Amino acid sequence: MNTAAVVKRILKQFHRDKRSVALMVAAPLLVLTLMWLVLDTETSAVKLAAVDVPAQVVESIETEGITVTVMDEAEAEEKLNEAEIGGVLQWEDGAPFVILEGSDPNTSGTIRSTLQKQLSEQNASMEWEYWNGSSELGLFDYVGPALIGFFVFFFVFIVGGVSFLRERTQGTLERLLASPVRRSEIVFGYLGGFGLFTVVQSIIIAAYSIYVLDVFMAGNFLYVLLVTILMALTALSLGTLVSTFAGNEFQMIQFIPLVIVPQVFFSGLFPTEGLAEWVQVVGNLMPLTYGAEALRDIMLRGSSFESFQVEVYILLGFTTLFTVLNIAALKKHRPL
Amino acid sequence: MEAAVEMKGISHWFGKVQVIHDVDLSVEKGEIFGLLGPSGSGKTTLVKMMTGLLRPSKGVVQLNGEKMPSLKQLRQFGFMAQSDALYSELTGRENLDFFASLYGMSRKDRHLRMNHVLDMVDLTAYASRPVNTYSGGMKRRLSLAASLIHEPELIILDEPTVGIDPVLRQSIWSELNRLRNHGVTIIVTTHVMDEAEKCGHLALLRDGRMMAEDIPSQLKSKLGVSSIEEVFLHYGGGARA
Ligand SMILES: Nc1ncnc2c1ncn2[C@@H]1O[C@H](COP(=O)(O)OP(=O)(O)O)[C@@H](O)[C@H]1O
Ligand SMILES: [Mg+2]
């Protein structure tokens, strides 16, 4: 009941505070675009060899802006060796089979996403193989999923944390607690109000990244939304919890290098596979690690729910933990 | 008759510093009870205990005979904090509507009461403006309106007239008197001596100690002085180093 009142109030405040809304939606879009400009250097001409491929398939791929040359297997292998082509599309038992040259991740990424789009409908299982190396995708394609998660996380953390902090500094928290509201109702109200807002925020950011910036996307858009919204809720509950330890807005900003920046480095936004074990252990304590992993699963590998459900549960676990701590932390302001 | 507020043997420490020293206090229903003391004497601390926001290190606080904090008793009083606790992006009416909804008032009740309290504090004309366009005095009045929104039988006001001009101060006091005549119990803290005269009962606080507590006229006649200021000086004058 009171939760609904708090939710309604937060949404009204959003409605009035256009600048925060802009920060949470426009800023991620802007930064994602900049990252995309820097990282997603489109290779000029992507060359693909076609071996025993049905003619109409060749046609459908060419319209996508890839130069397709029909040749035989021996010739194709020679060109792969000399890296003159980005990959070979072959037909084996009526199913597509692709060998990627693999040395330029952007080229491989373009071929991969194009073929996936064009051919995956008829052929559920496409075979992929690498001639050289195994860096599968463009750098932006690789970090894209994690970036989407990161920006949602970062801006919700800041805006959520600061609004909860202001509730305290402007005295309204005390005023609220001097009314028959339960501590949990306040915290759930925040989760609800911001939750509704982050649904919209997540849709916009994910849709922009996937459909406008064309980040590689092999999976279900709804799964992407599910994970980003969960990340937003984790960020909100963490932000409000952390704000308990801040005396003013500036101190809240001081938590960024403490709470946010390490997550960038440890969460696998940049690959951590080769790094020392303790790095990976630290990463395992960070919510962003699981969000980024789940998003990569969905977007790069087109995974089904089963393969990223563990991450989903862990994110839910983080949210629950932070929420419970939040409710407890409010005891400082009213023992009941 | 059971007291509206009863505080027994209250002491409180912030860390190692003791800020309240063994205070006993009892507020009868239907009176205006003033808590008079200079800044830093512990008025806000005592008020927070009454509203359940702070648990005293020692002693018991009861509202209507029930030990605080209690969710049931939180419904019974209205509270106006020392600082204006308002949402500055929202309009006056939206602020009131939000606080009203915390008391489970129906939409119709909220509407009627909002109009009533807005009228009472003379803010009807400004009700649809965002609070960040209000002057200091207007915010004070809106805070007062918010504390009255659910027609509480007890209102606790922490320095309600600070920063308000004399005319408005007068109108707030006449409003408090009117509420008292309707049987509402009012607890008001102040550091302004002449306001103290307007209270039915007065407690003098200094450095966390209650120095005297009585009807203002009694306080004066006992010492044979003519103003509360003199009473205050008598009890506390030499105490402060
Ligand atoms: N949260 C707190 N932590 C430490 N000391 C406090 C705190 N709140 C108040 N005090 C101290 O307690 C004393 C009484 O404060 P307060 O009740 O606010 O006085 P008043 O409202 O009469 O001005 C002051 O000395 C003040 O510094
Ligand atoms: Mg005070």
Query: Which pLDDT tens digits describe chain A residue by residue (336 residues)?
Result: 789 999 999 999 999 888 888 888 888 889 888 888 877 665 557 788 888 888 877 777 776 667 888 888 888 888 877 777 888 888 877 778 888 876 666 677 777 777 777 776 666 567 777 776 554 566 677 778 888 888 889 989 998 999 999 999 999 999 999 999 999 999 999 999 999 988 899 999 999 988 888 887 888 899 999 999 999 999 999 999 999 889 888 998 898 888 888 888 876 666 666 667 777 788 888 899 899 889 988 988 788 888 899 999 999 999 999 999 999 999 999 998
Q: Can you give B131-159 as a three-state secondary structure string?
A: HHHCCHHHHHHHHHHHHHCCCCCEEEEEC
State the pLDDT at residue A268.
66
- Whether residue B21 contacts residue B46, with contact meaning beta carbons closer than 8 Å, is answered with no
- Whether residue B168 contacts residue B137, with contact meaning beta carbons closer than 8 Å, is answered with yes
Band of residue B124 on the pLDDT scale cut at 50, 70, 90 = very high
Please name which of A280, A273, A293 lies closest in space to residue A231, comparing C-alpha atoms.
Answer: A293
The residue-averaged pLDDT of B165-176 equals: 85
Task: Name the DSSP letter for residue A260.
Answer: I
Prior bond of B160 cis (ω within 30°) = no
Residues of A in contact with B79 (CB under 8 A): 175, 178-179
B208 CA closest ligand 1 atom index = 14
Band of residue B237 on the pLDDT scale cut at 50, 70, 90 = low
Per-residue tokens: A28: 């991620």
State the pLDDT at residue B79.
95
Please name which of A284, A294, A286 lies closest in space to residue A227, comparing C-alpha atoms.
Answer: A294
- Whether residue B108 contacts residue B115, with contact meaning beta carbons closer than 8 Å, is answered with no
Q: Which residue of B has its CA nearest to A334?
A: B53
Distance CA(A117)–CA(A218), nearest Å, equals 8
Closest-CA residue, ligand 1 atom 21, reads B44
The residue-averaged pLDDT of B57-63 equals: 94
Burial class (CB in 10 A: 0-12, 13-18, 19+), B98: buried
- Please compute Rg for chain A using Cα positions: 24
Distance CA(A238)–CA(A309), nearest Å, equals 21
Please name which of A191, A187, A192, A220 lies closest in space to residue A206, comparing C-alpha atoms.
Answer: A220
Measure CA A129 to chain center: 26
For residue B205, the ligand closest to its alpha carbon is 1
pLDDT tens across A165-223, in order?
999 999 999 999 999 999 999 999 999 999 998 889 999 999 998 888 888 788 889 99
Mutate to test the interface with A, among B50, B89, B158 (most CBs of A within 10 A): B89
Is B81–A177 a contact, with Cβ atoms under 8 angstroms apart?
Answer: no
Entry pTM: 0.82
Distance CA(A184)–CA(B141), nearest Å, equals 30
Distance CA(A140)–CA(A106), nearest Å, equals 9
State the pLDDT at residue A40.
64
Distance CA(B220)–CA(B101), nearest Å, equals 44
- Whether residue A228 contacts residue A237, with contact meaning beta carbons closer than 8 Å, is answered with no
Q: Which strand ranges, in their side-by-side order, compose the sheet holding A127-130?
A: A67-70, A47-51, A87-92, A95-100, A127-130
State the pLDDT at residue A285.
87
State the pLDDT at residue A327.
95
Distance CA(B26)–CA(B1), nearest Å, equals 12
Distance CA(A154)–CA(A146), nearest Å, equals 12
State the pLDDT at residue B22.
94
Q: Is the pLDDT of residue B84 over 50?
A: yes
Distance CA(A235)–CA(A161), nearest Å, equals 9
Alpha helices in chain A (DSSP H): 2-16, 18-39, 55-62, 73-81, 105-119, 139-169, 172-177, 183-207, 221-243, 249-255, 261-266, 277-283, 287-301, 305-329
Distance CA(A185)–CA(A179), nearest Å, equals 12
Distance CA(B12)–CA(B56), nearest Å, equals 5
State the pLDDT at residue B44.
95
Q: How many residues does chain B have?
A: 241
Residue scoring higher pLDDT (B100 or B238): B100
The residue-averaged pLDDT of B145-152 equals: 94
Pocket around ligand 1 at a 6 A CB cut-off: B 14, 19, 37, 39-45
Quote the Cα angle for A11-A15-A18, to 5°: 130
B205 CA closest ligand 1 atom index = 22
B46: enclosing H helix or E strand:
helix B43-50
Contacts of B108 (CB under 8 A, 6+ apart): none
End-to-end Cα separation, chain B, in angstroms: 41
In angstroms, what separates the C-alpha of A320 from chain B's closest C-alpha?
25
Per-residue tokens: A3: 């939760």
Measure CA B14 to chain center: 22
φ/ψ of B181, rounded to 5, equals: -65, -25
Contacts of A176 (CB under 8 A, 6+ apart): A167, A186, B102
Distance CA(B27)–CA(A44), nearest Å, equals 84
Distance CA(A256)–CA(A233), nearest Å, equals 17
The interface pTM score, or ipTM, of the predicted complex is 0.90
Band of residue B85 on the pLDDT scale cut at 50, 70, 90 = very high
State the pLDDT at residue A177.
94
By Cβ distance, the residue of A13, A181, A336 closest to B102 is A181
Beta strand B154-158 with B185-190 is parallel
pLDDT tens across B61-74, in order?
999 989 988 888 99
Domain boundaries, chain B: 22-76+153-241, 87-151
- Classified by CATH at the fold level, domain A46-130 comes out as abc type-2 transporter like fold (3.40.1710)
- DSSP-assigned beta bridge partners for residue A70: A50
Residue scoring higher pLDDT (B234 or B55): B55
Distance CA(B40)–CA(B14), nearest Å, equals 13
State the pLDDT at residue A41.
60
State the pLDDT at residue B239.
45
3-class state of residue A170 by DSSP: coil
Distance CA(A25)–CA(A18), nearest Å, equals 11
Please name which of B75, B43, B76 lies closest in space to residue B160, comparing C-alpha atoms.
Answer: B43
Mutate to test the interface with B, among A2, A7, A9, A11 (most CBs of B within 10 A): A9
Residue for token pair 């509420």 = B179
- DSSP-assigned beta bridge partners for residue A99: A88, A129
Q: Ligand 1: which of B16, B19, B43, B82 to mutate, judged by most atoms within 8 Å of the beta carbon?
A: B19
- Please compute Rg for chain B using Cα positions: 18
Give the residue range(s) of CATH 3.40.1710.10 domains in chain A: 46-130
Distance CA(A83)–CA(A85), nearest Å, equals 5
Please name which of A283, A317, A186 lies closest in space to residue A244, comparing C-alpha atoms.
Answer: A186
The residue-averaged pLDDT of B147-168 equals: 89
- Classified by CATH at the fold level, domain B22-76+153-241 comes out as Rossmann fold (3.40.50)
